[in-house]
Structure 1
Amino acid sequence: MRFPNRKEAGQELALRLMEWAADGDLPDPVVLALPRGGVPVAVQIARALSAPLDVLVVRKIGLPGRPEAGIGAIVGDDPPLFDTRALEMLGLSEDRLVPDVERERAELHRRNLLYRGDRPAPDIKDRTVIVVDDGLATGATARAALRYLRRLGPARLILAVPVGAPESCAEMRSEADDVVCLYQPPDFQAVGLWYEDFDQVSDEEVIGTLREH
């Protein structure tokens, strides 16, 4: 199974969540996309639920020389959240990754300003919060996002992704109240393998989607 693109993946996720909404299980929802790839998925859910859409900028901390391999993540001005087991296995210290953290922190602030300007973040206290991305690989960014949001007091915290690694989906069940993942292939490897069209989402597309919605 492969999704044609992020839009259609979002529409399939929306159908699943609309079933919950019809049963009254999603009161006062707000949809938060993890940009950039999560935005075209999340907007389909927000439209289907007639819910507000916003973004939560999270930056992955990658291995030195292998930025695509996530070993941690940062949200806002929070300290980085690392996979300590992986650090130990690789013989890496958090101090060794300080330059990487500083670089990603600067990019995080750049994107926050670009996407949100001076618009305040939504108040999620006592609301149903649906966190959306285009897939779940190591779970580093999703874990950081969920822990950050949990402290803000949502009534219910849901992670929704079209596809994910089975072990990562299982781990996220201790971070979110519910995890919705349509497809968990045992030979997962990478998110992009499960999309026919996995072109990079641009900043302009993120800004346009937020403005339109």
Structure 2
Amino acid sequence: MECVFVDRAQAGERLAERLAGIPGPVVLALPRGGVEVAEPIVRRLGGVLDVLVTRKIGYPPSPEFGVGAIAEGGEPVFDLPLLHRLGLTPEDLAGEVAAERRELARRVAVYRGDRPLPDLAGREVVVADDGLATGVTARAALRAVAAAGPGRVTLAVPVGARDTVSAMREEADEVVVLCVPADFRAVGQWYEHFGQLSDADVLEVLARNPAPG
């Protein structure tokens, strides 16, 4: 199968074909990029679209270098082998975790206001993102979802690194990935158009797909 997608929406349409047997799930997109992947899935399957907000936990000397992640409703998840190589412990990152919790809460307020996440207890849940690189963000999201007692959880992404995809199978009931390229280097290399999304873009998708109630 061709591993280069035109954009996130086309990737989501192809994922939706693979997920067609799941009836009316709660589809949780990891913002920002995951929302454009998730929208065609909800359009095809029905159900509910919402966001599950996550934040990367950065390496203090180079914050863009992620060593962990946190998702709303969940606890921090760290790449422990990486921390060991860097000579760090999770406790060393308490300040970074606190800062990301604050930013996570701000983004939840922007995207959802006072509305809580949908009730996931006993439900079919699809967690959608635009790709899997290290997987630490997806792992944090899946663990937060698992804590809510869903009936079944599927992780759906268009493309991912081979080792990461394999590791995610321990975190979800099913992992649906369209392409696992041998030469994976970054998610964006597998899209012709991979522009950054804004908060306004996320809100526009959510407005088109309002949660019931």
Q: Smaller-chain TM-score range?
A: over 0.9
**Aligned residue for 2:13?**
11
Q: Deviations over 1:59-104 (max 9, x none)?
A: 1112234334321111225431111111111111223322222221
Identity of aligned residues (%): 55
Contact map agreement 2:132 2:165 (CA 8 A) in 1:
yes
Contact kept? 2:73, 2:144, Cα under 8 Å: no
Equivalent-residue separation in structure 1 for 2:165 and 2:65 (angstroms): 17
Separation (CA, whole Å) in 2 of partners of 1:183 and 1:77: 30
Structure 1 match to 2:35? 39
Q: SS where residue 86 of structure 1 aligns?
A: helix
Give the Cα–Cα distance (whole angstroms) in 2 for the partners of residues 30 and 78 of structure 1. 18
Kindly provide the amino acid, as one letter, of the partner of residue 152 in structure 2: R
Shift of 1:135: 0.4
Which of the numbers 93, 98, 107 marks the counterpart of 2:94?
Answer: 98
User: Could you give the per-residue CA deviations for residues 30-57 of structure 1, whole angstroms, max 9, x where no partner exists?
Assistant: 1000000100000110111112100100
Q: CA deviation at 1:136?
A: 0.5
Which residue in 1 is equivalent to 2:195?
Answer: 199
Structure 1 match to 2:149 = 153
Alignment-mate amino acid for residue 111 of structure 2: Y
Q: Does the 8 Å contact 1:27/1:127 carry over to 2?
A: no
Matches of residues 31-70 of structure 1 in structure 2 within 5 Å?
A: 31-70=27-66
Aligned positions, number: 207
Aligned to 2:174: 178
TM-score under structure 2 length normalisation: 0.93
CA distance in 1, matches of 2:80, 2:62: 17
SS at 2:19 equivalent? helix
Q: Tell me the SS of whatever aligns to 1:161.
A: strand
TM-score relative to the length of structure 1: 0.93
Asked if 1 retains the 8 angstrom alpha-carbon contact of 2:75 and 2:140, the reply is no
Question: Is 2:75–2:144's contact at 8 Å kept on the other side of the alignment?
Answer: no
Q: How far apart in 1 are the matches of 2:124 and 2:57? A: 28
Q: Which runs of 5+ in 2 are unaligned?
A: none
Question: Which secondary structure does the structure 2 equivalent of 1:125 belong to?
Answer: coil
Contact kept? 2:24, 2:45, Cα under 8 Å: no
* Contact 1:131–1:158 (8 Å) recurs in 2: yes
Which of 107, 110, 117 in structure 2 is aligned with 1:111? 107
Among candidates 120, 123, 130, match of residue 119 of structure 2:
123
Q: Secondary structure at the match of 1:8?
A: helix
Q: Structure 2 CA distance, aligned partners of 1:86 and 1:37?
A: 25
* Alpha carbons 1:37, 1:201 under 8 Å: kept: yes
Partners in 2 of 1:89 and 1:162 — Cα distance?
30
